[in-house]
Amino acid sequence: MSHDTPHDALPTGMKRWLYTTNHKDIGTMYLVFALIMLLTGGAMILAVRAELFQPGLQLMQPDLFNQLITLHGLVMVFGAAMPAATGLANWMLPMMLGAPDMALPRLNNWSFWILPPAALLLVTPFILGLAGVGTGAVDTGWTMYAPLSIQTGWGMDFAIFSVHMLGASSILASINVIVTILNMRAPGMTLMKMPMFAWGFLMTATLLIIIMPVLAGGVTMVLMDRHFGTHFFNAAGGGDPVLWEHIFWFMGHPEVYVLLLPIAGAIPHVLSAFARKPIYGYKAQVYSLWAITFLSVVVWAHHMFTSGMSVGGQLYFMYSTMLISLPLAVLFFCWIATLWRGAMSFEAPMLFALGFVTLFGWGGLTGLVLADAAADAQYHNAYFLVAHFHYALYPTTVMGVMAAVYFWLPKWTGHMYNERLAKVHFWVAFVGMNLTFLPQFFVGLAGMPRRIPDYALQFAEFNMLSSVGSLILGVSHLIFIYVVIQCVRGGAKAESRAWEGANGLEWTLSSPPPYHSFDVQPVVR
């Protein structure tokens, strides 16, 4: 256990980070890794948006374009969004639950250090491809549909092994989180007294343990089809390409909620703190998180309406998908009711939280129309879909995480960040995000398919707007980096309770907190 490491004997330099079993160090590494991946995936998609600025092929050929969109998807989901949430969990769970550290500190170290090699494995063929070696990175779209993923070059093999490692990492991290939450809570903290954030992450970890192995099995089948003569996805040998779609979306749909649930857990803390009012409907929110978790694993085939499905299948997946709107509506209701008749102030975490609630609201509502199995033919794989899921995912995985980071940054660093710049960050991101994705709804309705490097002339104006928006959105993250560096290096001293309305065990610790969060567990009444 990490208790027995005396503070003065800490290794220094690289070794400290390599060997650390401390939840704060590992949390920091997760967050920095996620930020690097966010910038990597962002740079990739900025290159894509630059190509799409006007019709014609200007900057790249289709094969490079396909690699970029594929890597963007995989890097953002598995490299940025999930590690960012895990980083928050690592930092905050022991502090919020009144524990000294995570339950399995060495496993924690391991689950982080699998990530960087996995990410390298994913992008190595891309870099080699640019240098003229090999066939480039995986270029099948992040959905990796067979038989395209059987046919394509060696980038797919790299991606398969990378997915195995990313999967292993997130399974290990999830095991750690579940054990921490179930075994390490402060005396008196029953499950139903637990912070919302712990609930959100508990649900996410549960989902991950179920879905990531299925994806790992699926990509292994792809690997076997590619190299060992099996025919899981080939009709010639009795297989079926549509089987891959089922396997992928059995993982892929819950994955969306994997990204959402930790944020849906963190946001109530922020809203409550800045409305200076307790969380509304705690139990209702917890039950909704359960409902979402359950429903998320039984609706996957609504991603496959156009692949041909029986009438019964279409109706089932349509109506069950619509059902998800109910628990989500409960969450929205509770979030807004938490604000209602509070005493609000609008610091950066609050702005990001409200931005999340608003934009994710629109993302969710547009998802409702996509659930219609017949109308889906018009939306599916068109830019409308792209716009929809970016309205769902950007507010969640970036704005939601930003809200949490700004909220807890004073706790982590012991300094207040530059509030003015942080607000600028929010507004630039808010404008950039809407300018990027709102036009994509229209261009999708007009008939532009996704994943094309070149498009017909009637789509030109909206694409140009979207490209301009993406540049603004990209710049907003640079402001964020500046604010964080400034905050780490100094600034006004943060109180233990950095925000007036903040509640929870983490705010009883000093800012920054001691190396071991709670050596003596607090007692919760």
Partner 1 sequence: MKLRNGLPLLGGFLGALAAGSTWADYRWNFPDPATPLAADTLHVHNLFMLIITVIFVAVFAIMAYSMFVHRKSRGHEPATFTGPRSRVQWLWALVPFAILLFIDYIIFGIPAYHAVLTDADSRNGAQMVVKVTGLQWKWQYEYPEEGIKFVSAMSTPREQINNQAPKGENYLLEVDNPLVIPVGKKIRFITTSTDVIHSWWVPAFGVKRDAVPGFLREFWVRVDRPGVYRGQCAELCGKDHAFMPVVVHAVPEAEYLQWVGAQKTAMTAQADSAGREWTQAELMEKGKAVYEANCASCHQPGGEGIPGAFPALAGNKMMKAPALDPAGRLVRGGHLDRVMNGAPNTAMTAYKDVLNDAEIAAVVTYERNALGNKTGDLVQPAQVKALRGSKT
Partner 2 sequence: MSEPATPLAVANRRLAYKLGGVAVLALGFGFALAPLYDVFCQLTGINGKVEQFNLPPSQMKVDRSRSVQVRFLSQPMPGMPIEFHPSQSSLSIHPGDIILARYWVRNPTDTPLAGNAVPSISPGAANAYFKKIDCFCFREQTLAPGEERELAVTFWVDSALPKSITDITLSYAFYGAVKKS
Please give the residue ranges that form the binding site for partner 2 (CB under 8 A): 1, 4, 103-104, 107, 171, 174-176, 178-179, 182-184, 209-218, 220-221, 229-232, 234-240, 242-243, 246-247, 250, 308-313
- Contact call for residue 315 and partner 1 (CB under 8 A): yes
199 vs 248, beta carbon nearer partner 2? 248
Cβ at position 235, least distance to partner 2 in Å? 5
Residue 174 interacting partner from partner 1, partner 2, none (CB closer than 5 to 8 Å by kind): partner 2
Binding characters for partner 1, 123-142, by CB under 8 A (x = yes): ---------x-xx---xxx-
61 vs 183, beta carbon nearer partner 2? 183
Q: Which of 372, 416, 465, 495 binds partner 1 (CB under 8 A)?
A: 372
Give the phi and the psi of residue 393 in degrees, each rounded to 5.
-90, -40
Q: Which of 224, 284, 468, 524 binds partner 1 (CB under 8 A)?
A: 284
Binding characters for partner 1, 380-399, by CB under 8 A (x = yes): xxx-----------------
Rounded to whole angstroms, the Cα distance separating 513 from 13 reads 21
- Contact call for residue 456 and partner 1 (CB under 8 A): yes
Tell me the two tokens of residue 219: 């990509």
- The amino acid that residue 340 corresponds to is W
Cβ at position 8, least distance to partner 1 in Å? 44
- Contact call for residue 329 and partner 1 (CB under 8 A): yes
419 vs 454, beta carbon nearer partner 1? 454
Binding characters for partner 1, 396-435, by CB under 8 A (x = yes): -------------------------------x--x---x-
Rounded to whole angstroms, the Cα distance separating 153 from 410 reads 47
DSSP per residue, 425-465 = HHHHHHHHHHHHHHHHHHHHHTTPBSS-SS--GGGHHHHHH
Rounded to whole angstroms, the Cα distance separating 364 from 370 reads 10
Q: Which of residues 158-197 bind partner 1 (CB under 8 A)?
A: none
273 vs 487, beta carbon nearer partner 1? 273
- Contact call for residue 368 and partner 1 (CB under 8 A): yes
Residue 118 interacting partner from partner 1, partner 2, none (CB closer than 5 to 8 Å by kind): none
Other CB atoms within a 10 A radius of the CB of residue 11 amount to: 12
With CB under 8 A as the rule, give the number of residues binding partner 1.
104
Other CB atoms within a 10 A radius of the CB of residue 520 amount to: 8
Residue 229 interacting partner from partner 1, partner 2, none (CB closer than 5 to 8 Å by kind): partner 2
282 vs 480, beta carbon nearer partner 1? 282
Rounded to whole angstroms, the Cα distance separating 429 from 316 reads 38
Give the phi and the psi of residue 521 in degrees, each rounded to 5.
-70, 135
Q: Which of residues 459-518 bind partner 1 (CB under 8 A)?
A: 459, 461-462, 501
Q: Are 44 and 76 in contact (CB under 8 A)?
A: no
500 vs 519, beta carbon nearer partner 1? 500
151 vs 510, beta carbon nearer partner 1? 151
Residue 456 interacting partner from partner 1, partner 2, none (CB closer than 5 to 8 Å by kind): partner 1
293 vs 436, beta carbon nearer partner 2? 293
Cβ at position 136, least distance to partner 2 in Å? 23
Q: Are 189 and 98 in contact (CB under 8 A)?
A: yes
Q: Are 175 and 107 in contact (CB under 8 A)?
A: yes
Burial (0-12, 13-18, 19+ Cβ within 10 Å), 137: buried
- Contact call for residue 307 and partner 1 (CB under 8 A): yes
Residue 161 interacting partner from partner 1, partner 2, none (CB closer than 5 to 8 Å by kind): none
Q: Which residue has the tokens 């969306």?
A: 256
Judged by DSSP in three states, 358 sits in helix
Q: Are 506 and 433 in contact (CB under 8 A)?
A: no
Does residue 238 come out as left (phi exceeding 0), alpha (psi in the -120 to 50 range) or beta?
A: left
- Contact call for residue 63 and partner 1 (CB under 8 A): yes
* CA distances from residue 58 to 46, 53, 140, 167, 498 in whole angstroms, order as listed: 14, 9, 22, 36, 50
- Contact call for residue 442 and partner 1 (CB under 8 A): yes
Residue 246 interacting partner from partner 2, partner 1, none (CB closer than 5 to 8 Å by kind): partner 2
* CA distances from residue 277 to 187, 211, 284, 345 in whole angstroms, order as listed: 25, 37, 17, 12
Rounded to whole angstroms, the Cα distance separating 489 from 415 reads 8
